[in-house]
Each structure stands twice: as structure tokens, then as C-alpha cells.
Amino acid sequence: SIPDTSLSYIPDDGFINVGNKTTLESNDLLPILSTLRYFPQKSARKFCYTFQVIRGGKYLVRTIYFYGGFDGGKQPPVFDQIIGGTKWSVVNTTEDYANGMSSYYEIIIGAHAKTLSVCVARSNQTAENSSPFISAIEVLSLEDSMYNSTDFRTEALVAVARSAFGNEDSISFPDDPYYRLWQPFTDKNEVVSTQTSVSSSDFWNKPPEKAFSKAIAAGVGKKLEIQWPSGSLQSTRYYVSLYFQDNRAASANSWRVFSVAVNGKTFYNNLNVSTGGVTIYSAEWPLSGPTKITLTPDAKSSAGPLINAGEVYQILPFGRRTLAKD
């Protein structure tokens, strides 16, 4: 059980019947990182967990990894993870582990059958004497309205970034009942606090109310530019959702209007941001390399632009599916 929440984790024995279990010797690890399952068998490439799901349901799947030198080595193995028969990503935890951190990966996926397979697999990047491993898996049900501009019959959404701008702490359960993790993001821009609250139920992706408590902002008549997500993105299609709320007390004669551009390309023109909050999104937006979001105020706007939160997911087309008998 996780202190201060109602979350509890159960053993994985009922979901997989291969692999070896071990406990890491460190005393200061979180309980979900202190044990892991690894797969030394050389006779197979892919090792799968099977979860009972509701066909047609929508799920957030999170895999968590912490190497801990379980095999006596100094560097984590590199391997693939596969979901529903489609390669999800490469698991390379080397940099995080060198910094004393665990690694996690997230995907939002539709269930095409009554079971969902989540697998780790050897690849040509997996060293000969190393073993794929996993520390924890979370499979969480999402409401039908969430991320419903994506056709989950043919695509999934791989999480790239989910940030609460201006916040200094992460936001997750219980503030987000869907257990999404909203990472803090601050830069050189001004941070402002809101004076009114919003209701998550008014937004189809249901961002937590706490994500609107802070924002990064620019002064009246000034542009707001942020480099986000951090790092360089693979050249492909992405789902992008941005969240805004006027942080001031409601006023009939006070306007906060600005246009949004992503890498110089118009994302939304003349966005009127109220105290009730607003979302703008693109179900498919091309991104490549570094990403810059620019908010340009309308000449008549009585307040400068601001942004509260954002989500970016890489669109993953489904490939071949795992055969039910496998």
C-alpha cells in the first residue's frame, strides 16, 4: 500500500508464468522498486504479462523500471517493450539509473479483445549475457470521453510530456484520479497563481484542478515563448493538448486574448481565455526536433498571455497483433 493514498499494488504471479523474481538489497527504495522480475531464458525472445480488460475500453498502461544491479552488472540491459503485439518503445534506463532514478513509460491504448498483453523482449541491442526485467506495471481504466479524438482501433498514444507550468511539485493521485503524472515545469518566465478554481469535469481529458493553480505568463503586450517539451522529438505525428485559465478574478470588461503558434506555425488564432478555463488541441500535429510554443497577445487584450498545462503524445499506429493462442 502507498502511504496517504488508497492505492495498493499486488504481486504479479497471476499475470505471467515465466521469469525469475528477486529483491534488491538497497534499504531506501520505494516498495514498488525494491522487487523485480527478470527473464534470463535464452530460448525465447518475448515475455508477456496478460491482463483481463473490457473489450473496447480505454486504458493507460505504465511500465516502471529500476535496475539496481540485480544481475551483478553496472549497466542496465537495453530491450524492447511490446503491447498488444505492436512494438511500443525501446527500454533504455541507463541515463536515469546513472542519476539514481527509476524510469517509466506510458501509453494510452484501446482494448481490442478481452485480454491485453504487455511484453518485454530481447532485441539486437540486448547484450548477450543480460536479461530484460521489469519492476512494476500499472493498468488504469480511463473514461470514454478522454482523448476521444484518437481512433484507438488503429492507433495508440505514447506519452512524451505532461506538464503543469509554474508548479514546483509533481501532481498525481489523488489530485488526478486517473493517476497521470503531471511534471513541474518552470523557466525564466514569470509564474502567477490563480484566484479562481475550475472544474475538471468541464474538460474532456479531465486534467486535475491543481494543474490550473499556477501558470507561466508574460506582461501586457508581450509575447510568451517556452521551449517545451524538453529535448528533441522524433519527426512524426503527435497529439498536442494545451490548457489555459485566466488567473484573475472574473470581470466583464477584462479580456485575455492571444494566438498560439507551435514552431512558428499557427495552432490557434485569437484564443479568448476565461476564468472557466479552455483547452485547445490537435489530434495530429507534426513535430520534429526542439519545440517552441509562442503565445502572441491581441493588440486590444488587457492582459498578457499565459499557459497552465500541456500534454504531448506520440501517435503509434498498430502493427500486427499477438495471436490469442500465444
State the CATH number of the domain containing residue 28. 2.60.120.430
Residue type, 182: W
pLDDT, residue 253, reads 66
Q: Which of 142, 171, 190 is the last residue of a domain?
A: 142
Average pLDDT over residues 62-70: 97
pLDDT at 50 over 70: yes
Q: Is residue 118 in a domain?
A: yes
Query: Residue 301 to residues 153, 157, 259: CA-CA distances in angstroms?
Result: 42, 35, 11
The confidence band for 322, taking pLDDT boundaries of 50, 70 and 90, is: low
162 and 302, same domain (yes or no) = yes
Q: Which of 107, 142, 177 is the last residue of a domain?
A: 142
138 and 109, same domain (yes or no) = yes
* pLDDT tens per residue, range 239-249: 999 999 999 88
Q: Is residue 188 in a domain?
A: yes
Average pLDDT over residues 273-284: 94
Q: How many CA atoms lie within 13 A of 192 on its CB side?
A: 20
User: The cell 481512433 sits on which residue?
Assistant: 151
**Domain membership of residue 125 as a residue range:** 20-142
- Total structural domains within the chain: 2
CA dihedral sign, ordered 25, 26, 28, 30: negative
pLDDT at 298 over 80: yes
Average pLDDT over residues 80-95: 95
Q: Is residue 48 in a domain?
A: yes
75 and 199, same domain (yes or no) = no
82 and 185, same domain (yes or no) = no
CA dihedral sign, ordered 264, 270, 271, 272: positive
* Calpha distance 222→304 (Å, rounded): 6
Question: What is the spatial order of strands in the sheet that 20-23 belongs to?
Answer: 20-23, 35-38, 133-134
Q: Is residue 230 in a domain?
A: yes
* Calpha distance 171→123 (Å, rounded): 34
Q: Which of 95, 110, 142 is the last residue of a domain?
A: 142
pLDDT, residue 320, reads 65
The confidence band for 301, taking pLDDT boundaries of 50, 70 and 90, is: confident
**Residues 162/166/170/175 CA torsion (nearest 10 deg):** -90
228 and 104, same domain (yes or no) = no
Query: Residue 17 to residues 36, 63, 215, 276, 317: CA-CA distances in angstroms?
Result: 14, 18, 47, 50, 29
Q: How big is the chain by its Cα radius of gyration, in Å?
A: 21
Angle at 52 between CA 47 and CA 54, to 5 degrees: 135
- CB count in 10 Å sphere of residue 81: 21
The confidence band for 135, taking pLDDT boundaries of 50, 70 and 90, is: very high
| DSSP-based three-state secondary structure for 25 | coil
189 and 295, same domain (yes or no) = yes
